[in-house]
Chains A and B, each alone.
Chain A
Amino acid sequence: MHRQLGLLLEIQDLKMQRNGLADGSLADLESGVFDIEIADAIKSLEEKVEQLEGRLDRRIVARYRRIARTASRVVVPVINGICYGCFVAVARASAVEADRNSRVETCEQCGCFLYHVD
């Protein structure tokens, strides 16, 4: 997998964790069952996201910020050839490539970064 794509995935997953904690049901479970301090956890995740964003290449970060302005998710999975950002089929060449995550690829339709899930 491309190193920058790995970073983007990590950032996306951390943002998801952060958003999950801001959501009532998960926050209730996390604080009630696992004794998590929600505000501290959110702050910690935001700091980590910021730190990882600083490791993105200049060109990638420019695109990342552009997408983030309009889309809730910057990186989206491709499952069975379908982009889960816009639910449109991605170009066939990239869908059948051997290591499909070896380069940073974006959806021609919605512009999101793509992660091919096996």
Chain B
Amino acid sequence: MQLRDFFSLRSIQLDMVAKTKDEALRELVGYLNIDRRSREILFKMLKRREKLGSTGVGRGIAIPHCRSLVIKRLRVAFGRKPEGLDFDAIDGQPVHYIFLIVAPPIEVSNQYLPVLGKIAQFSKGSGAPSALAEVETASEFMDLLGAGGS
């Protein structure tokens, strides 16, 4: 499967409202369309993961991720914050592009690690930040992933 196949148009937000790291995590979890209590648990788990070390990998990109029982299948979301926000990123720079990846403890097709790896690889590409800055619609974002993130 291609990376783009894991995203839905509803899980892509090119103009995030969040102004802080916590708000960004909450906002992205909100795009997954799960109940309030599950959102809270997922948020806690993502925060717990962030405490181990920021998932802000540098160059304006963050990839928060975790596994949790509250999720039935692998889910991903993408958020863009043109102004940037403080994510305690490795390079100390603000984060503009956030890929959220969450998965259940057990997956039939075991996609969590490959998807995490693919997004990490996509993010390392020299043109990734500028390409992500240029997309104007969720469909264009999907096309970008199709072109460079397969």
**Contact A45:B52 (CB < 8 A) given known A29-B120, A35-B90:** yes
Which of chain B's residues 31-79 have a Cβ closer than 8 Å to chain A?
A: 34-35, 37-38, 41, 44-45, 48-49, 51-55, 57, 63, 66-72
Q: Is the CB of A33 within 8 A of B120?
A: yes
Q: Is the CB of B105 within 8 A of A29?
A: no
How would residues 88 to 117 of chain A score, 1 for a CB under 8 Å from any chain B CB and 0 otherwise?
000000000000010000000000000101
| Interface status of B113 (Cβ within 8 A of chain A) | yes
Query: Chain B, interface size: which category?
Result: 20 to 34
Q: Is the CB of B67 within 8 A of A34?
A: no
| Interface status of B117 (Cβ within 8 A of chain A) | yes
Q: Is the CB of B69 within 8 A of A35?
A: no
Taken together as a complex, chains A and B put the C-alpha atoms of A13 and B68 apart, in Å, by 5
How would residues 85 to 110 of chain B score, 1 for a CB under 8 Å from any chain A CB and 0 otherwise?
00000100000000000001110000
Q: Is the CB of A13 within 8 A of B66?
A: yes
B residues less than 8 Å from A79 (CB atoms): 72
How would residues 31 to 70 of chain A score, 1 for a CB under 8 Å from any chain B CB and 0 otherwise?
0011111001100110010000000000000000000000
Q: Is the CB of A37 within 8 A of B105?
A: no
Q: Is the CB of B48 within 8 A of A48?
A: yes
Query: Chain A, interface size: which category?
Result: 20 to 34
A residues less than 8 Å from B45 (CB atoms): 10, 13-14, 17
Taken together as a complex, chains A and B put the C-alpha atoms of A36 and B55 apart, in Å, by 9
Q: Is the CB of A12 within 8 A of B90?
A: no
The smallest beta-carbon distance between B95 and chain A, in angstroms, is 13
Q: Is the CB of A17 within 8 A of B66?
A: yes
| Interface status of A86 (Cβ within 8 A of chain B) | no
Closest 8 CB pairs between A and B? A41-B52, A36-B53, A33-B120, A1-B37, A13-B68, A117-B72, A13-B45, A16-B67
Chain A positions near chain B (C-beta within 8 angstroms): 1, 6, 9-10, 12-14, 16-17, 20, 25-26, 29-30, 33-37, 40-41, 44-45, 48, 73, 75-77, 79, 84, 101, 115, 117-118
Residue pairs across A and B with Cβ atoms less than 8 A apart, 18 shown, are: A9-B69, A10-B41, A13-B45, A13-B66, A13-B68, A20-B67, A29-B117, A29-B120, A33-B63, A34-B55, A34-B90, A35-B53, A44-B51, A45-B48, A73-B105, A77-B72, A117-B69, A118-B34
